[in-house]
Structure 1
């Protein structure tokens, strides 16, 4: 049953910020919150001298402190906890299987904008088809306030089936009573670089055609969510750069990821990769259908 939100908790500042964001989201959705702590035992030789009882006590403390903090902020929120002895990425992916959303913390780049996406977060992200939100530590943890009116940004691709991505983005905008902006980039075919007499009208025609395709993609969602204020931005250039710039002041950025696998592993796509590492807002990654 996809009726709860799962959050990975490890006692770090990153997971505390993510847990607070997840609790706000759970309260908005009127669903329970599940806190999960996973430890890959044994920890030796990474942490020599640390016994199993110490690890269990540390895990219990992390879950207890997180639960107490979230209950103080959301007294009516139903919260459950699970402590697992397993590889964190595998445990979180398994726990996400019956969840509506998985939330993970990610370290920010200090004074720079963006995330440091750790190996656990990245491995978990590509191991589940459940939507995943990455939250970085804000200077003020209470600044991660859902429902502030900040718009939802969604990256769309006219060459992909974006139904799952758009459904997630529109549902989030509807819950938050905020505007939604769809962003799409396009490029002229590479062959045009070798055309000796390039006609600028061709570029304008392609731009208009792409804009119409994006508008057509949004039509059924406008009808399904008539109360959501929708706009779209179609650019020639890098979608990743535009999405990163649009993330300034946004409440949430929603991007899709590819589900196909290459010999070197799961392919996220360059746009999603750029947004994951440089966005200034929480990022939701949704597997394309």
Structure 2
């Protein structure tokens, strides 16, 4: 049985945008779409039955709103829904375990690019064992596509680049494969970016200091990046790849590279004993400051 694309919905504007993005992704992957609403309200005594009925009504309304948004954009997608009782983070993690990927909404910061990420989304990203995609509240289908020659928004043009943030110190197959597949599905160019920092002064002898040549460092990193990507280019011959290395802080390079992208793909190392909703600095920067949808792909 095919794993579905799962979207968490709660009736908010951002979750509706996430449901619509998830529907488009489900169609690209030829997968069913499964909408999930999680609620955790457990009153005691005589109010329990009434409160439970009210909560189920609210859940049904949130799911119906998401279904209407999905049907308006992707009428042919195979669609199912589910109410899950329990803490939202735990319920969504359970749903993610059975998913091809999980899609969540995240409110855009007014006047800035990037996200305002809630505790539920952070908790899911930190612990999910399947890819999680965060989508802004104002994300539209045309935002994934290049503008027309008249600089107008359109869904009839090609897709914008898929950007892969790659750390060559720990290049992970799961992250690279997700990015290549995303680019293939969109017939988009894949732009792989590695950021490096120049080495500090190094000792070359008693009382002497030498500086590592930055020019050949950049060439070495670029050669290494191309070698890592070559294996995947052989597996995905139809994907155009642009390999880029920049001498810059990884977080700064990430935000800059993702400007104008259709999707940013980053990795997240799963800690053996995760404590709280923790992510690494690069993933943290991506989910808080990048304007396009962000796919966080877990790896060990």
Q: Given the two structures, how large is their TM-score scaled by the length of structure 1?
A: 0.90
Structure 1 pair 221–123 and aligned structure 2 pair: CA distance change class (3 A): same
Q: Identify the match of residue 174 of structure 1 among 179, 184, 198.
A: 184
Counterpart-to-counterpart distance in 2, 1:263 and 1:52: 33
Q: Identify the match of residue 290 of structure 2 among 266, 279, 289.
A: 279
- Aligned partner of 2:148 in structure 1 is none
Task: For residue 252 of structure 1, report the CA deviation from its aligned partner.
Answer: 0.1
- After superposition, residues 48-197 of structure 1 pair within 5 angstroms as 51-138=51-138, 141-145=140-144, 148-190=158-200, 192=202, 197=209
Matching of residue 209 in structure 1 with residue 220 in structure 2: yes
Task: For residue 129 of structure 1, report the CA deviation from its aligned partner.
Answer: 1.1
- Further displaced range: 65-74 or 113-122: 65-74
Structure 1 pair 94–161 and aligned structure 2 pair: CA distance change class (3 A): same
Structure 1 pair 193–37 and aligned structure 2 pair: CA distance change class (3 A): farther
Aligned 8 A contact 2:14 2:137 in 1: yes
Q: Identify the match of residue 248 of structure 1 among 256, 259, 265.
A: 259
Deviations 1:106-141 (A, max 9, x none): 011011110011100011112211000000112x64
Task: For residue 247 of structure 1, report the CA deviation from its aligned partner.
Answer: 1.6
Structure 1 pair 196–287 and aligned structure 2 pair: CA distance change class (3 A): farther
Counterpart-to-counterpart distance in 1, 2:141 and 2:215: 45
3-state SS of paired residue (2:238): coil
Task: For residue 215 of structure 1, report the CA deviation from its aligned partner.
Answer: 0.9
Task: For residue 198 of structure 1, report the CA deviation from its aligned partner.
Answer: 4.0
Counterpart-to-counterpart distance in 1, 2:23 and 2:39: 23
Task: For residue 68 of structure 1, report the CA deviation from its aligned partner.
Answer: 2.2
Counterpart-to-counterpart distance in 1, 2:180 and 2:276: 30
3-state SS of paired residue (1:184): strand
Structure 1 pair 74–30 and aligned structure 2 pair: CA distance change class (3 A): same
Aligned 8 A contact 1:261 1:267 in 2: no
Task: For residue 260 of structure 1, report the CA deviation from its aligned partner.
Answer: 2.1
- Further displaced range: 25-34 or 206-215: 206-215
Aligned 8 A contact 2:144 2:261 in 1: no
- Unpaired runs of 5+ in structure 1? 45-49
3-state SS of paired residue (2:168): coil
Count of residue pairs the alignment pairs up: 282
Counterpart-to-counterpart distance in 1, 2:195 and 2:250: 5
- Aligned partner of 1:199 in structure 2 is 211
Structure 1 pair 161–64 and aligned structure 2 pair: CA distance change class (3 A): same
Task: For residue 192 of structure 1, report the CA deviation from its aligned partner.
Answer: 4.3
- Unpaired runs of 5+ in structure 2? 45-49, 146-154
Deviations 1:4-43 (A, max 9, x none): 1000000000000111100010111111000000011137
Aligned 8 A contact 1:260 1:266 in 2: no
Matching of residue 13 in structure 1 with residue 23 in structure 2: no
Q: Given the two structures, how large is their TM-score scaled by the length of structure 2?
A: 0.87
3-state SS of paired residue (1:123): helix
- Aligned partner of 1:257 in structure 2 is 268
Deviations 1:51-71 (A, max 9, x none): 322211111011112112212
